[in-house]
Amino acid sequence: MNSLEDQPLPNFEWAGDAFWAPDSKSIAVPTVTGLMKMQAPNGALELVTTDTNLHTFRGGSWNDQGTILFAAIDSLPGRIGLYGVPAAGGKAIPVEIPGLKDGR
């Protein structure tokens, strides 16, 4: 991305806002089929995880140690869960936040 010109992304069904990898060479993309990643601007989509209900995706962050954290509404109405997954792919694991009452 050595240009200020717009670069269109491939067509897919978005399920939330995309976010950048720490090296700014890849993006994480929540889709209706799962959390995907791709090299920008025109890499192939790669599956990261399908382990959570991403149609309720509420944002994410990708750290330089290769972990993606994201929030999604879980099975309890109105309750948001925080999950972690390796950027290389794998199972999304709920992240406990000490000090929060009932995980909220």
Quick one: CA dihedral 74, 27, 61, 68, positive or negative?
A: positive
Cα–Cα dist 78/93, whole Å? 19
Contact at 8 Å (CB) between 7 and 41? Answer: yes
Confidence of residue 3 (pLDDT cuts 50, 70, 90): low
Q: Please name every residue paired with 87 in a beta bridge, in sequence order, or none if there are none.
A: none
Distance between first and last Cα of the chain:
38
Q: What is the DSSP letter of 33?
A: T
Q: What are 56-85's pLDDT values in tens digits? A: 788 899 999 999 999 887 655 666 778 899
Q: Are 68 and 47 in contact (CB under 8 A)?
A: no
* Residue whose C-alpha is closest to residue 72's, from 102, 87, 51, 101: 51
Q: pLDDT at position 78, please? A: 60
What pLDDT, in 10s, does the model give residues 16-62?
Answer: 788 999 999 999 988 877 899 999 878 888 999 987 665 578 889 99
